[in-house]
Structure 1
Amino acid sequence: MTDAPGYRPNVGIVLFHPDGRVWLGRRKGTPPPHNWQFPQGGVDPGEDLETAARRELAEETGVVRATYMGRTDGWILYDFPQDYASSKSARGFKGQKQVWFAFRFDGVEGDFDLEAHGEPEFEAWRWAYLADTPGLIVPFKRHAYAAVAEAFAAFAAKPPTG
């Protein structure tokens, strides 16, 4: 689906550690339990989607050393809840349409700088298992994260079984 009127064009980034875990940021000022997410952000007019993904990754995490691994086919959509009071919904968007990118982290942990660009999106970060991420995100984005986890499962480490 390339045309989705009323949805803000957006990219999402799954940054894979070489061991197959994924980077998650804890959203600044968002109470638990659903306050973890992947970097994501809007696409500027005329901007290439991979370029937007790399820009958002650098702005939100400080990471610039990453290798492209893959992307989702088409757009993954989600709707904002009726009571969602964000600047995006206030601008008339009913939700977001996203193309997701998988990158392998090629840097060192010291590369992470959550204040790399203006107002930080995240206040903390950690490595996690991709399969666990749908349960960590706000419920209205859960189906999108499930689709991303399925799309990138081949790149991901499996959680330990206990």
Structure 2
Amino acid sequence: MVEQKDKYRPCVGIMLLNKQGHVFVGKRFDSDFYWQMPQGGINDGEELEQAALRELLEEVGTDKAEIVAKSKDWVYYNLPEKVIPTCWNGKYSGQKQRWFLMKFYGEDKDIDINYTDYPEFKEWCWQSVDGLVANVIPFKKEVYKTVVEQLSSQIKASIIK
């Protein structure tokens, strides 16, 4: 039995919108089928905004973005039972995430998914907001639905600008 199974890892997620209103998604090295938006843990003492900007640089390899909005609430998800013992050494049963909508003001050449020695993604693309939920791993579908719902008015406003 996992000791702290009821714990959720604090994390940030990033919905990065380009000028055309499409969202950055990456295909993780451990998946051949599923795409996801950047996300990652919050370091001790780190502010949420700092964590989001750090994760953007680490996973997308760019700092050419500005924060437009933040999700109203924490969004929680549970890992599948079989994954819990091997993910984060069994310390967490899932994640609680604060999501940030960011506007990308760079060009595609400003993205470098191999920015760090340990890249998260093996490939990336821009995807429509409407396609996000269909292409994410099943246990994160509700998270993506919630994020799109919580940020919908800010997404629309960012696309119009």
Do both proteins adopt the same fold according to a TM-score greater than 0.5, normalized to the shorter chain? yes
8 Å CA contact 1:114–1:122 kept in 2: the answer is: yes
Instruction: State the distance in 1 between where 2:142 and 2:87 align.
Output: 22
Q: CA RMSD in A?
A: 1.5
Maintained 8 Å contact 1:129/1:156: no
For 1:130, the equivalent position in structure 2 comes to 129
1:22 corresponds to which residue?
23
Indicate if the aligned counterparts of 1:21 and 1:156 stay in contact, CA closer than 8 A: no
Name the counterpart of 2:12.
Answer: 11
2-structure distance, mates of 1:29, 1:147: 24
Instruction: Name the CA distance, whole Å, in 2 between partners of 1:77 and 1:148.
Output: 11
Structure 1: state its 5+ residue gaps.
158-162
The amino acid of 2:147's aligned partner reads V
Aligned counterparts, 1:1-162, within 5 A: 6-32=7-33, 35-84=34-83, 86-88=86-88, 90-154=89-153, 155-156=155-156
Report the Cα distance in structure 1 between the residues aligned to 2:113 and 2:138, rounded to whole angstroms.
Answer: 24
Q: Secondary structure, in 3 states, of the residue corresponding to 2:101?
A: strand
* Structure 1 CA distance for aligned equivalents of residues 52 and 145 of structure 2: 19
Deviations 1:14-68 (A, max 9, x none): 0001121111111113121xx1000000000110001000000100011101011
The alignment of Structure 1 onto Structure 2 pairs a total of residues equal to: 150
**What per-residue deviation string (whole Å, max 9, x for no partner) do you get for residues 74-121 of structure 1?**
210000111115432x23201100000000001111111111112111
CA distance in 2, matches of 1:46, 1:91: 23
Greater helix fraction, Structure 1 or Structure 2? 2
CA distance in 2, matches of 1:145, 1:139: 10
Percent identity, aligned pairs only?
37
The runs of at least 4 consecutive aligned structure 1 residues that moved more than 3 Å come to none
Q: Could you tell me the TM-score, scaled by structure 1's length?
A: 0.87
Q: Secondary structure at the match of 2:132?
A: helix
Deviations along 1:128-162, one digit per CA (max 9) or x if unpaired, are 111211111111111000001112223159xxxxx
Unaligned regions of 5+ residues in structure 2, if any? 1-5
Query: Take 1:122 and 1:91, find their aligned partners in 2: how far apart are those partners?
Result: 23
TM-score w.r.t. the length of structure 2 is 0.88
